[in-house]
Amino acid sequence: MKVIDISMTISPDMEMYPGEPGPVITRISMLESGDLYNVSQLTLGTHTGTHVDPPLHFIEGGAGIDDMPLDMLVGPARVVDLSHIKGNIAPGDLGDAKLDEIILFKGARGGARLTAAAAQYLVDNGIKTVGTDALSIGAAGEEYEVHHTLLGAGIAVVEGLVLSDVDAGGYLFVCLPLKVEHGDGGPARAVLIQE
Ligand SMILES: [Zn+2]
């Protein structure tokens, strides 16, 4: 069994979605100052790095990250390589893709970003979870509609996956977001398991 880490590393200089503050990691107790142990305080946004978007991210009164069923984030998944597509992902690009319940898109530089029509295509095909290696799953200018379409249909969205060294194919996906009360997002550790 091989475990492949597909999570971004949390660090102050990590890549963030434009306008979002990066993590702040502050040592509040340190061995080198004579304290008995090292402990840090970590401040980060709910959509930092690899993370899950629950319905509450875009839907008022929707389920928060603490209410998301974990079986949406653990199970057989398929990685689909779309890195040959230079622009945004349209429904036609997904034509050959075998739609499984959990589908993870690997895009070109900057990651796989869906048009609103592609998001609707996924809803129409009954998938339960979609992941991307982009920091936002929506194409620029269509982010609101893409999130609304996916989250409104109850689809879990995972953003910021690290898929550059992952081949297309079937895996067991395990993604566990932090259980933040009424959280509108949850930073997560995500892995693929290959038997
Ligand atoms: Zn997000």
pLDDT digits (tens, 9 = 90+) for 92-113: 998 766 666 899 999 999 999 9
How many angstroms is it from 185 CA to the middle of ligand 1?
Answer: 6
**pLDDT, tens digit, for every residue of 52-64?**
999 999 999 999 9
Tell which residue, 67, 81, 59, has the closest CA to residue 161: 81
The domains found in the chain, sorted by start residue, are 2-8+46-194 (3.50.30.50)
pLDDT digits (tens, 9 = 90+) for 121-163: 999 998 999 999 999 999 999 999 999 999 999 999 999 999 9
Cβ–Cβ under 8 Å, residues 57 and 184: yes
Q: Which residues are catalytic?
A: 57
What is this structure's pTM?
Answer: 0.95
Q: Give the N- to C-terminal CA distance of the chain in Å, as an integer.
A: 5
Contact 52, 184 (CB under 8 A): no
pLDDT of residue 101: 86
The pLDDT, as a whole number, for residue 32 is 96
User: pLDDT, tens digit, for every residue of 63-85?
Assistant: 999 999 999 999 999 999 999 99
| Residue matched to tokens 């079986």 | 71
pLDDT at 97: 65
CA 45–ligand 1 middle distance (angstroms): 10
* 3 state SS of 166: coil
Environment of ion ligand 1 (residues, CB < 5 A) = 47, 53, 159
